[in-house]
Amino acid sequence: MNHERGHKRDLMREQIAHLAAKLMAEGGITDHAQAKRKAAKQLGAMDTQHLPGNQEVDDALHSYRALYQQDSHPAALRQLREEALNTMRLLSTFHPYLTGSVLSGTAGAHSDINLILFSDDMKAVLLFLLKHKLEFEDGEWRVKINGREESVPSYTLTAESGIQTHIVVLPENARHSGSRHPETHGDIAAVEALLA
């Protein structure tokens, strides 16, 4: 009896992951949590404590795009990666890293670009953006650094194409912390390799 309930829960979890992936691919939802909640609601899943993880949704999204968007997805992803690379080159002084769906390959036409920059002078990025007359919105992002939660500057740039790039600025010591992994953080050379 317990085994059957576990199997049903796993099956529902898989169905939620696939519907969340479809919502992200077709509906323009970019937030995993929102897509999972909406999918669970549409499927009538009452137990939302066993929602799939983001990686399960990303795996389903890769499959969905390969099956249903094989014609349009590669071009959309390439455009996002090219925009990311151009922005990274512009901001190379701050050792940019690409993260998120544009790096992983799950990004689609509605996706944003996510970059991490590094500087001990938190105003340096702001001054750089102003000096280069780039239009942006500024804000703050909460991150954990050395076990402490801190607020760090964030900026959102919007390209002429409408693509948004979200930038978070971390202190230099975070760059050397060893928390970056090639599969989740790509430097300029890694993004160039993806476009080669």
* Residue 86 pLDDT: 96
Query: Where would I find the beta strands (DSSP E) of the chain?
Result: 97-99, 113-118, 136-145, 148-158, 164-170
pTM: 0.80
Is pLDDT of 126 > 60? yes
Instruction: Give me the pLDDT at residue 1, please.
Output: 46
pLDDT tens digits, one per residue of 17-63: 999 999 998 888 888 899 999 999 999 887 677 789 999 998 999 89
Class of domain 73-195: alpha beta
Averaged pLDDT for residues 9-13: 82
- Residue of 58, 59, 107 whose CA lies nearest to 83: 107
